Amino acid sequence: MALIATRRSVMTLFSAPLCAQSHRVRIVLAEKDITVDIINIDLDDKPEDLSDLNPYNTVPTLVDRDLALYGPQVISEYLDERFPHPPLMPVDPVSRAAARLALYRIERDWYSVAEEAEANGMKLPAKSRKILLESLVASADIFAIKPYFLSDEFSLVDCAILPILWRLPAYGIAPKDIPKPIADYSKRLFARPSFKLSLTEAERGLRA
């Protein structure tokens, strides 16, 4: 089935049902109401298409006609520019740089933990769980400053944060240990229609 995706007229996303990086892209797609063919793959039995399209053979991978993109931030910014309404990045350079810096830190500090969990059947070792919880506690006050993360509008930063927060119970972090500003933020944003649409059945099961 090699390169079937490149012949499709509809945009195609190669995703994985429990992959946090894939989830953040699915949130962007749902937020912008983009028509897309989502192919949720088994990471232990990847289709030939994926290695043909992405030299790293990873998800998420997005195919838009003759263009193949990989890397969640590259994909997310492409979607935001290709479908500019609603905008998910600030317009002015200073605010945009601040958002990118926040995304960089989230990627380094939180997604590294998510990838460790995914490689271990969604279980997180005690040491990594402690590091993640301490990082969340240290950032709690930031969640209380504005309706969204450092912003008055929903942004790509929120799209990146939400998959991690959704997975906290699966990582072994109890609701009572989550700081109130983060718990309140989570409750509000998990209720967004786009977030609900972004969830796979497997992801819903993380909080069943």
Residues designated catalytic: 19
What is d(CA 170, CA 165) in angstroms, rounded to the nearest whole number?
Answer: 10
Strand partners, 37: 12
Query: How far apart are the C-alpha atoms of 196 and 204, rounded to whole Å?
Result: 9
SS3 state of residue 118: helix
User: Cα separations (Å) of 90 from 18, 103, 157, 189?
Assistant: 29, 13, 11, 19
Token pair 């497997």 is at which residue? 202
